[in-house]
Amino acid sequence: MANFTIRRMQAKDLRAIWDITWCGWEGVTFRQLIEERYGPLGAKHWRDWKADEVTSQCEKYQEGVLVAQIDGRIVGYATFFYSEEEGLGHVGNNCVDPDFRGRGSGTALNRAVLDCLKARGARIVMVTTMEQDVPAQRVYEKNGFVELARSVTYTLDLGEGERAEGDEQ
């Protein structure tokens, strides 16, 4: 296990978060699946869309972002938010640089998020991940999460796609 530290994100960390997002979400984001099925959305690659989404969230909600560092290098991040009205905490986007996975920083980041949410008053914490993101599932299960439900995501091409057989026009 590597020697890493976890701390609150600082504005200077945004580029590293963007870079980790860009390289770390392969195979586990809806934008990639959509792009593989229908082609690019707009003028950007799915990686750029995801990285821009995450860094925008980090800019707006900096107090809800933690980073993991090894020897001063940012190797992972985790976002979270808390609904005081519900007493419900949410684990948001989180990712570890593929070159630094398997060293415990993802599990430690998740634990730190749980500590922050508990300190804010969260009674229950929720996280959603894709079925194929087995490493994330392992991290959540290590930290005590239990599966609540599964969902199915459908898409429909309203452009040049064909209607399903039997659909009326």
Domain ranges of the chain: 4-142
The whole-number pLDDT of residue 159 equals 86
Tokens of 22: 């860009």
Residue 7 has pLDDT above 90, yes or no: yes
Q: Sheet holding 4-8: strands in order across? A: 4-8, 65-70, 73-83, 88-96, 124-126
- Distance set, CA 2 to CA 14, 35, 66, 88 (Å): 23, 35, 18, 32
Give the DSSP H or E segment for 168: none
4-142 folds as Aminopeptidase (3.40.630)
The whole-number pLDDT of residue 90 equals 97
The whole-number pLDDT of residue 167 equals 55
Q: How confident is the model at residue 24 (pLDDT cuts 50, 70, 90)?
A: very high
pLDDT tens readout for residues 70-95 = 999 999 999 999 999 999 999 999 99
The whole-number pLDDT of residue 156 equals 95
